[in-house]
């Protein structure tokens, strides 16, 4: 008994230690990579003596960002708000549309081609029209963020609902379940992993939408700030705007990722086991 314990315990302890160490290394790795990129960038800029209006060094970018921090924060807030509002509309309409498209072949057959056609229009091309309709400012940015991020959500939710296993549907139909009950009990929960996967793509798209709109027709927001900065040849400030955007993007991505892991853990943990008996 004690011999057994000794045998099982001795190799287990160092393994746990190394696993902890590996975990620490894994969580530190992204930071190491980011810092390495900045260091390399700095070295390249200094070594080749690159002009600041071509490619500013990271130190110059940080300095400029810090110098204009009040404006930066103000404009970043504006961009974040327009993006989040547009994105929220995209989530609501994407979910509703996805449920409709996924659960009704009639809706799918009728509307899908039109939707694909609409989606293939570059959203930047619509912005001038939005400006005519709404004037320049916040509204075109919100609408562009919505338009650009709505489609991937709809397609993914629809795919999740449309690909429910027929046997799963039969279980419910044999109980006399109505179509909406099947969607509620099976279709929606099953499409949640697809939904969250699409959110991660869509939130990045939403930032693209709002910033492009701000660059073209706004007097506020990170996009506008970058436009003004580059027209004044304050290239480090434009780069600082890019960095703030990317930080906001990462932040929103992490939020989506957090919600995903809290709500659809069954999908990532259960994939193998759920498929095993079917194989």
Partner 1 sequence: MAGLVAGMMVEGRCNLIRPSMNFVELNRVSVRYGEDGDGTLALEGATLTVAPGEFVAVVGPSGCGKSTLMKVVTGLWPPTAGTVTVDGREVAGPLSIVGMAFQNPTLLPWRKALDNVMLPLEIVQPHCARLRGERRAYVEKARDLLALVGLKGFEERFPWELSGGMQQRASLCRALIHDPSLLMLDEPFAALDMFTREELWVALQDVWLARRPTVILVTHDLREAVFLADRVLVMSARPGRIVAEQAINLERPRRLDATYEPHSVAIMHKLREHIGATRSGDL
Q: With respect to partner 1, which residue has the nearer C-beta, 230 or 263?
A: 263
The nearest distance, CB 90 to partner 1, in angstroms, is 24
State the CB neighbour count (10 A cutoff) for residue 240.
27
- Residue 159 CB, shortest distance to partner 1, in Å, is 17
Q: How far is the CB of 259 from partner 1 (least distance, A)?
A: 15
Which of residues 169 and 220 has its CB atom nearest to partner 1 in the complex?
Answer: 169
| Burial category of 198 from C-beta neighbours within 10 Å (exposed 0-12, middle 13-18, buried 19 and up) | buried
Nearest approach, Cβ of 266 to partner 1 (angstroms)? 4
Question: What's the closest the beta carbon of residue 87 comes to partner 1, in angstroms?
Answer: 25
- Kindly tell me which of 173 and 200 has the beta carbon lying closer to partner 1: 173
Task: State the nearest-atom distance from the C-beta of 245 to partner 1, in Å.
Answer: 35
Q: Name 123's Cβ contacts closer than 8 Å, sequence gap at least 6.
A: 144, 147, 148, 209, 212
Please tell me the distance from the alpha carbon of residue 38 to that of residue 57, in angstroms, as a whole number: 8
Which residue lies nearer to partner 1 by CB, 189 or 249? 189
Nearer to partner 1, 14 or 176 (CB): 176
Q: Could you give the C-alpha distances from 95 to 67, 71, 177, in angstroms and in order?
A: 42, 36, 22
Binding site for partner 1 (CB under 8 A): 165, 167-168, 170-177, 181, 185-186, 189-190, 192, 264, 266-267, 269-274, 276-278
Closer residue to partner 1, CB minimum distance, 58 or 102: 102
């Amino acid at each position: 008994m004690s011999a057994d314990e000794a045998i099982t315990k001795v190799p287990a302890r160092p393994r746990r230690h190394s696993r902890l160490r590996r975990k620490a290394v894994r969580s530190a790795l992204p930071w190491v990579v980011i810092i390495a990129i900045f260091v390399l960038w700095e070295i390249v800029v200094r070594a080749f003596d690159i002009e600041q209006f071509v490619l500013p060094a990271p130190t110059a970018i940080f300095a400029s960002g810090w110098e204009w921090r009040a404006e930066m924060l103000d404009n970043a807030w504006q961009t974040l708000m327009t993006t989040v509002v547009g994105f929220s509309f995209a989530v609501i309409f994407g979910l509703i549309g996805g449920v409709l498209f996924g659960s009704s072949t009639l809706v799918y057959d009728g509307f899908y081609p039109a939707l694909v056609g609409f989606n293939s229009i570059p959203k930047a091309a619509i912005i001038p029209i939005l400006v005519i309709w709404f004037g320049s400012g916040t509204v075109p940015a919100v609408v562009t963020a919505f338009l650009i991020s709505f489609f991937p959500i709809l397609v993914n939710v629809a795919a999740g609902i449309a690909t429910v296993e027929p046997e799963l549907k039969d279980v419910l139909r044999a109980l006399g379940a109505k179509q909406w009950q099947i969607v509620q009990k099976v279709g929606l929960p099953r499409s949640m992993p697809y939904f969250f996967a699409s959110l991660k793509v869509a939130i990045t798209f939403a930032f693209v939408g709002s910033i492009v709109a701000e660059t073209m027709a706004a007097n506020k927001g990170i996009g506008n700030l970058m436009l003004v900065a580059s027209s004044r040849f304050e290239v480090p400030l434009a780069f600082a705007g890019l960095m703030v955007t990317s930080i906001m993007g990462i932040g929103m991505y992490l939020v989506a990722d957090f919600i995903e892991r809290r709500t659809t853990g069954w999908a990532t943990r259960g994939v193998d086991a759920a498929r095993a008996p079917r194989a």
